Amino acid sequence: AFTKAWEKSCSTQGKVILEVPKRLYYVKPIKLQGPCKFNHLIFDISGTIITSKSNYNDGNSNYGLTFENVDNLIVQGGGTIDGYGLDFWWSPCKFYKFKYCLPTPRVLTFHNCNKLIVRDFSVRNAQKNYITFTHCNNVKASHLTLTSSEKSATGNGIYLSHTQDIEIFNSAIKTGGGYCISIKSGTNTVKVHDIACGPGYGISIGELGSRNSEVNVTDVIVNRVKFFETLFGVRIKTIKGGSGIANNMQFENIEMNNVQNPIIIEQGYCDQNDKLCIKQKLKLEIYYSKTYGIHVTHSQDIEISNSVIGTGDDCISIVSGSKNITATDITCGPGHGISIGSLGGGHSEAHVSDVFVRRAQFYETTNGVRIKTWQGGVGEASNITFQDIEMHNVRNPIVIDQNYCARSTTPCQEQESAVQVRNVLYQNIRGTSADEVAIKFDCSHSVECEGIVLEEIDLHIHSHRRSNRHNRRDGDTEAVCRNIQFTNIGHFQTFSLLFQIFLHHENPCKLVKINHKKTDVI
């Protein structure tokens, strides 16, 4: 009946309405194909379509209800499409390894459809994907409800592949065992906003680069999304050995509620056995234009690893309310480096603690590792470690700026309050500086920086920037500091010289070297 009604509608010119009245419909896998003669067609679902209970057992692998090569289509109506996933979730093959699982169908698929509107209906109990868009263009999907009657073993809510110019909004997605929205290769110009996601796996851009493939995903904006008890929040996932680019992505105005992994970029994922993955080199890069690479605020227990970030601002920005943040194996550049701050802007209270940055490489960035607080703020930035860092022609490799302000033509006057900076370790930081001053510690006179540790620092001027200022040996850099208390200064070199500080003429540093129970003030 569906096929005959579609064939008649497809061959009709003008505006066509194909109604699915209020009743139950059991259908086997069906393709509604174009091209068609109509100017546009409304496929109005008022009833409930159940893709046949025999779909899975019959081995119809790819689809339940599919629209293919159809332009100017609207699918709407307030009804329901049921994928009858129970057959798959409780199949013996899911519990016994010796049982072969037949490929499972998607519930609703749109392939090679242009000028498409999908709205105002429900999809439930998918065996695989709830709604799939492949090779589509100019799509609006809204006011959708995607649900599972229980926690399903699989099932992505909305799945995008090789699709351009798509907007997904005002929808609730509760898939349980899959991503709310999964964005795959060949997809660009995606807008996702006003979505409630969970339970499920969150929103994913990935898996990109599988089986050494070349992939491209660009121009993705995710805005005003609420996550509820999901495994992930926003995730970018690429596979070792792949190539291509994931570019121009924004995640903003996001609310996390009991999410296990709120923000993740996983660029070293392996889809093969471990021995094969060890031999693979990372080729797929992530770039951001005129914005932060990764911006962390009011978040805890975040791990950022194995990522290449080039941006117009900070590669990683960590601001107030953040705690237990780990960043390892990061390549940063171009950009402004890794920053803790700005903190305390507008006389606000700010707190950041327990930040660990290890094995980072900076290439021609404005800053390397930077702690930046506004004058007049209050609070604390503490227990921060920068370890095993490489600098390559970085303008300001190591910076603490506790007196930041909105400078005009004249310097800002120091204020009485400031965000406390204490217990910061700089260990094994090496490479080249683009400027003669490689270390700048500008701390507040009222709230001095405390517990600053420098170990194994070896920074010298990049070969293109060397000069003979201060009668220093060619290649040496200098450090400038104010209002700072050092602890355990040792094994510090500026190229070939032993540690030396060029003290600021207004406020000399307090250099404190602790040796067991004895404290020496230099």
Which amino acids are annotated catalytic? 336
* The pairing of beta strand 71-76 with beta strand 38-45: parallel
Question: What is the identity of the amino acid at 250?
Answer: Q
Dist CA 65 CA 355 (whole Å):
50
- Tally Cβ neighbours within 10 Å of residue 35: 11
Q: H or E stretch including 59? A: none
Contact 181, 158 (CB under 8 A): yes
Question: What is the identity of the amino acid at 399?
Answer: V
If DSSP codes are grouped into helix, strand and coil, which group holds residue 470?
A: helix
What are the percentages of helix, strand and coil residues in the chain, rounded to 5? 5, 60, 35
> 266 forms bridges with which residues in the sheet?
237, 305
Q: How far apart are the first and last CA of the chain?
A: 91
* Listed residue (85, 130, 134, 127) closest to 103, CA to CA: 127
Dist CA 422 CA 305 (whole Å):
25
* Listed residue (278, 281, 288, 211) closest to 248, CA to CA: 288
If DSSP codes are grouped into helix, strand and coil, which group holds residue 187?
A: strand
Contact 122, 79 (CB under 8 A): yes
Question: What is the identity of the amino acid at 100?
Answer: Y
